Amino acid sequence: MNFKVLLAGAIAIVFSFSPGFAQITNNPKVEEQSVPYVKIKRVELTDEQTIIHFRFVEKRSTQVMPRNLPFPIPRQQQQQFQQPSAGSIWLDPETRLYKPGEIDVKFKFIRADNIPTSGGKEIMPGDTVNFVAYFERLDPGIEVFDFYEGRSTGGGQTWNFYGIHIKNPLKKDAKTPQTTAKADKPLKKPVQPAPAAKPKVAEKPKPVEKPAEAEKPVEAEQPIEAEKSESALNKLKAGKVAVGETISLPNVYFETSKVDLLPESYEELNTLVDLLKESESIRIRVEGHTDNVGDFDKNLDLSRKRAESVRSYLIEKGIAAERIEAKGYGGTRPLAKGTSEVERSKNRRVEFVVTQM
């Protein structure tokens, strides 16, 4: 029998028992991630699920006390040595995938293999852990998404990945993306006892439900510095920007916990209006950001509405609507990693990205 015919028949038999073909992206491009020691190795899209394969590598180094030395080691030098210690890792079950900047397009966690979602999996220095997380199926057409586990607290680190690029084209018979808006109630994290201590590099204390007053949206009003930051708009005026470049609007302010622009914002926004009128080919995307204190979904919604407020102002001043997009990212893309008010104030900001010159 012809070998090619035999091979084709064998392949047909194998796939006849398969529930469907999976769309696979190996080693996907990731624009930004919160920690370097967890990698996304593969993303699979089946008919029902988004399956993400990870690899965790514990790279802590330890110096172990040498034995049977012919001479004593001074006590001061003994302190430099330590015995290898165990830590633990786990995956927060409230992790979600979402389309960047779209609060109503998010995909829930289903289950995980080879990593617990409560307690912890013990690890030792040098250990490698391969684990898999299953989520709801990304809508066809979403070819860039974010993996958001949460915010880092108590010295721990969470695993957040921003801008994951995959193969997920629209179906041929679909005219528009099949957006399954998952605008359900914001997820609440149950109060649980703190898990066992984790090594510093991978420590992720289990978040607890926040008190009612912390559920309010993050306030993104004026920065605490007394003097206004110098605007970066001169770069646009001088023609020194490229497509994809982000420009900060440090002097745009809002009422506390609201989306209404304060009059102090008008000078900078009017400057932007003039520049857009001078260069009619330029298109931009206004982006809103908050810090990561409070409810995730409320922050995302607040940042989106504030970006839309800036867009509406520019349109009212005569800029064509099709030249301006608006997106909100909540607290998922911080400039500063600290937890002080000074650091958090840097993350409450409005920027725009040049999308066309």
Residue 207: inside a domain, yes or no?
Answer: no
Using only the alpha carbons of the chain, give its radius of gyration: 25
Output the domain CATH number for residue 280. 3.30.1330.60
Residue 70 has pLDDT above 50, yes or no: yes
Residue 88: inside a domain, yes or no?
Answer: yes
243 and 342 together in one domain: yes
7 and 153 together in one domain: yes
- AA letter at 28: P
The count of domains in the chain is 2
Report the mean per-residue pLDDT for the chain.
76
Better pLDDT: 68 or 275: 275
Own/partner contacts of 186-194, CB < 8 Å, gap of 24 or more, are 186/295, 186/296, 186/297, 186/298, 187/94, 187/96, 187/296, 187/297, 189/94, 192/118
**Cα distance between residue 132 and residue 316, in whole Å:** 49
Residue 29: inside a domain, yes or no?
Answer: yes
Residue 198: inside a domain, yes or no?
Answer: no
Secondary structure of residue 7 in the 3-state scheme: helix
**Cα distance between residue 342 and residue 327, in whole Å:** 25
Q: Which of 132, 165, 198 is the last residue of a domain?
A: 165
**Cα distance between residue 167 and residue 94, in whole Å:** 25
Residue 87 has pLDDT above 50, yes or no: yes
152 and 252 together in one domain: no
138 and 239 together in one domain: no
pLDDT per position as a tens digit, 171-204: 776 554 444 444 444 433 444 444 444 444 444 4
Residue 205: inside a domain, yes or no?
Answer: no
9 and 141 together in one domain: yes
**Cα distance between residue 194 and residue 192, in whole Å:** 6
Per-residue confidence (pLDDT) for residue 103, from 0 to 100: 65
In degrees and rounded to multiples of 5, residue 288 shows phi and psi of -105, 145
What residue numbers bound the domain in which 148 lies? Answer: 3-165
